[in-house]
């Protein structure tokens, strides 16, 4: 893959386009129904075979991997922007930190006004830290990423294994009554009450109602808790992205054989484990002692592995972009607009001020909105970028970061 004349790296754009489209496949559930159903499907909207099939497909193929890929690409873009600024004689920090502050503003508005699932606040906060590493070479960045991810995943694994041992001990015949009672309470999965459903629907009745819900109680601090909560994971992924850019992996500079081997090894491991997890969870009918260890413990450390595998596969598939690749690249060039635009479409579909479908559709039914939104992304992005330099939200981000109105419309081609 080559760069476009304007300096775009097509492989990065295509990867970003695929990632933002795939993320919608999972995020649509969080927009359409009560939040707990996003994390534990049987809580709501999960009655039919179609609902289970949609969960299984997303669980095996999408969940966690494309969010990780998006974070990796953020790290690559951060490095690209800063290195180009420095090469042009500007100070890297003076370019980077205004971009992160404006991104933080977008994230705050996104969370408090539109959707609880915002990732932009986390990216902005972690991006301010990741800047410190951008000058390191690829091997040092990968070593730092491995260390950061180990610090994040290992305590979770140790604590999780201790909890699993406790559950197994409590379920064995002859377990102490106190232990058995504690374990049974841990595994209890009470149905979501009508009052909780009504409260969730009320919180999505309008933007004003959503704002009231997200600015009250613990919800008010939720975006900021993301930094200590999963900031280390995001940082590790961004460092992988920096290394991927500097090593040439993300710019399609490796040999075809290297991408084939990387895709086969990484996806072979990742998809096999995720498939085993899905089968065991479905067989156990989502019993908590099976569901939570597999979805919250065993597969999580594989998400970076799967993201790298998908990156290699996508680069292989689009080694010659063609018309479809060009459209996906346009989606990636306008990824910020497509990410926020998806939420705006979700607001129209699910908020009470729109079609009011929040809590009215099942998991599988909610996913049926995804292909039309994908089609819209593919249609509008290229049309827009043939006429304008940036996506609409990219233009606002760029203009605010530079404290000046950037030119938006492309110069007409000479006759």
Neighbours of 33 (CB within 10 A): 29
Residue 397 lies in a domain: yes
Residue 407 lies in a domain: no
Distance between CA atoms of 31 and 64, rounded to whole angstroms?
17
Instruction: Note the pLDDT of residue 190.
Output: 64
What is the CB-side half-sphere exposure of residue 61 using CA atoms within 13 A? 12
Contact partners, residue 147, CB within 8 Å, separation at least 6 = none
Instruction: Report which DSSP code applies to 36.
Output: H
User: What's the number of domains the chain is made of?
Assistant: 1
Residue 412 lies in a domain: no
Q: Radius of gyration (Cα) for the chain, nearest Å?
A: 22
What is the three-class DSSP state of 3?
strand
Residue 84 lies in a domain: yes
Distance between CA atoms of 178 and 166, rounded to whole angstroms?
12
Instruction: Note the pLDDT of residue 412.
Output: 66
Burial profile 311-344: b = 16 or more Cβ within 10 angstroms, e = fewer:
bbbbbeebeebeeebebbbbbbbbbbbbbbbbbe
Residue 408 lies in a domain: no
Domain span including residue 369 = 10-402
Distance between CA atoms of 201 and 195, rounded to whole angstroms?
10
Instruction: Note the pLDDT of residue 1.
Output: 47
Instruction: Note the pLDDT of residue 19.
Output: 98
Across the 415 residues of the chain, what is the mean pLDDT of every consecutive 10-residue run?
62 98 96 92 90 96 97 98 95 97 98 96 98 97 98 93 87 84 77 84 94 95 96 98 98 97 98 98 93 92 97 96 95 98 97 93 96 98 96 97 93 57
Structure tokens at 314: 């996508």
Total-model pTM: 0.94
Helix H segments across 131-250?
Answer: 138-171, 177-187, 194-203, 207-214, 222-247
108 closest CA partner among 95, 94, 119: 119
Residue 166 lies in a domain: yes
Residue 26 lies in a domain: yes
Residue 344 lies in a domain: yes
Instruction: Note the pLDDT of residue 5.
Output: 42
What is the per-residue pLDDT across 63-87, written as a single tens digit (0 to 9) for each? 999 999 999 999 999 999 999 999 9
What is the per-residue pLDDT across 18-36, written as a single tens digit (0 to 9) for each? 999 999 999 999 999 999 8
Instruction: Report which DSSP code applies to 193.
Output: P
The answer for 351, left when phi > 0, alpha when psi is -120 to 50, beta otherwise, is beta
What is the three-class DSSP state of 276?
helix
Task: Kindly compute the dihedral angle of the four CA atoms of residues 381, 384, 388, 391, in this order, to the nearest 10 degrees.
Answer: -40
Distance between CA atoms of 135 and 141, rounded to whole angstroms?
9
Distance between CA atoms of 221 and 194, rounded to whole angstroms?
26
């Amino acid at each position: 893959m080559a760069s476009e004349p304007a300096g775009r790296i097509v492989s990065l754009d295509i990867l970003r386009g695929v990632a933002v489209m795939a993320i919608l496949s999972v995020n649509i559930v969080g927009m359409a129904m009560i939040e707990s159903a996003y994390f534990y499907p049987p809580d709501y909207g999960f009655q039919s075979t179609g609902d289970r099939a949609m969960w299984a497909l997303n669980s095996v193929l999408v969940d966690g991997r494309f969010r990780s890929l998006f974070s990796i690409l953020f790290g690559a873009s951060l490095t690209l922007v800063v290195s180009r600024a420095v090469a042009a004689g500007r100070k890297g920090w003076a370019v980077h930190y205004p971009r992160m502050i404006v991104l933080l503003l977008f994230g705050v508005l996104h969370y408090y006004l539109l959707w609880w699932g915002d990732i932009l606040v986390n990216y902005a906060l972690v991006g301010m830290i990741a800047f410190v590493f951008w000058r390191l070479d690829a091997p040092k960045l990968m070593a730092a990423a491995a260390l950061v991810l180990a610090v994040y995943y290992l305590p979770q694994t140790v604590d999780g294994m201790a909890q699993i041992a406790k559950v197994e001990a409590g379920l064995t015949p002859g377990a102490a009554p106190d232990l058995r009672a504690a374990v049974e309470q841990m595994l209890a999965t009470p149905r979501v009450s009508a009052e909780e459903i009504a409260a969730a629907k009320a919180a999505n009745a309008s933007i004003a109602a959503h704002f009231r819900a997200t600015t009250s109680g613990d919800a008010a601090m939720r975006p900021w808790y993301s930094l200590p909560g999963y900031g280390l994971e995001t940082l590790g992924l961004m460092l992988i992205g920096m290394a991927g850019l500097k090593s040439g992996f993300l710019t399609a500079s490796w040999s075809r054989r290297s991408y084939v081997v990387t895709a086969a090894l990484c996806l072979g491991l990742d998809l096999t484990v995720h498939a085993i997890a899905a089968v065991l969870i479905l067989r156990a009918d989502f019993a908590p002692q099976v569901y939570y260890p597999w979805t919250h413990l065993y597969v999580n450390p594989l998400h970076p592995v799967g993201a790298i595998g998908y990156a290699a596969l996508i680069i292989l598939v689009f080694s010659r972009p063609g018309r479809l690749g060009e459209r996906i690249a346009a989606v990636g060039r306008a990824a910020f607009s497509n990410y926020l635009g998806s939420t705006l479409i979700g607001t129209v579909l699910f908020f009470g001020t729109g079609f009011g479908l929040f809590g009215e559709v099942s998991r599988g039914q909610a996913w049926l909105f995804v292909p039309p939104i994908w089609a819209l992304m593919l249609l509008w992005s290229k049309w827009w970028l043939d006429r304008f330099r940036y996506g609409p939200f990219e233009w606002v981000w760029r203009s605010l970061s530079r404290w000046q109105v950037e030119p938006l419309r492309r110069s007409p081609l000479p006759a």
